[in-house]
Amino acid sequence: MKVIDILEFIDSFAPFNTALPFDNAGLLVGDGQREINKIGAVLDVTAQAVEYAVQNGIDLIVSHHPVIFNPLKRLQTDSVPYLLAKHDIAVISAHTNLDAARGGVNDALAKALELENIAPLSENDGGDFPPMGRTGTLKRPMSDRDFAKFVAEKLSTKAKAVLSGKEIAKVALCGGAGEDFIAPALKAGADALVTADVKHHNLLLAKSLGLCLIDAGHFETENVVVPILAEKLAAFSAAETVIIPQFPPAVWF
């Protein structure tokens, strides 16, 4: 099994040509023709993730967030790209293409929240790229406060919530930074939006529009895809596949 085989497999369910224009997805480090023996799935390729890979014989890391996003201006010996090259570890990153993919980040988030009747939700009307977000219904309606607690429990975190005072039955979601989905969520008839990285002015906007908005953390709303990604890779590849242990970079108090 070669790196290129894994790249083509990921492309079969999360096509890289569906990544958004600003994105940097694909084979970002390493040789596509290299034979691999062990794969590590992870959200972020950090120095700690690389150290774990080195210690555990992982020669290919498959991540969600791109290990190289902005153009490199220097390559220092303690930088993650340098360490990857030094230890001959390849990296494939599936970012916005995995956000939108069937069975990807947002389907994983919908599953974690036990939603039913899942449907796509786009942040615009049409366009050349598949919808990133999702809508779904709760098994039973609940109050906005109970829903905020439910989200926090299911994602093992603490959530910041804009409360609407309304019952929550239909939910919109976008894992990671999805504050642009406020208007689409309302248009879709959602009672609540679950996302992350919401700026103050958009919290105020949601409040003024009567939308329950749950900011449950970028890591927490996206890391739910890692076990699913690892399961897919393990089913496809003869190489051993493991999840690289990782914890949120910030702690909620």
Span 116-168, pLDDT tens digits: 999 999 876 656 789 999 999 999 999 999 999 999 999 999 999 999 999 99
Q: Detail the residues annotated as belonging to a binding site for a divalent metal cation.
A: 64-65, 99, 218, 222
Q: Among candidates 232, 200, 245, 250, which has minimal Cα distance to 44?
A: 245
Mean pLDDT score, 41-59: 99
Chain centroid offset of residue 88 CA: 26
Q: Detail the residues annotated as belonging to a binding site.
A: 64-65, 99, 218, 222
What's the predicted TM-score (pTM) here?
0.96
The pLDDT value given to residue 125:
60
Indicate the pLDDT class of residue 48, thresholds 50, 70 and 90: very high
Q: How far apart are CA 17 and CA 40, in angstroms?
A: 23
pLDDT averaged over every residue in the chain: 97
Judge whether residue 67 has pLDDT over 70.
yes
Low-confidence winner among 46-55, 119-128, 205-214, 230-239 (lowest mean pLDDT):
119-128
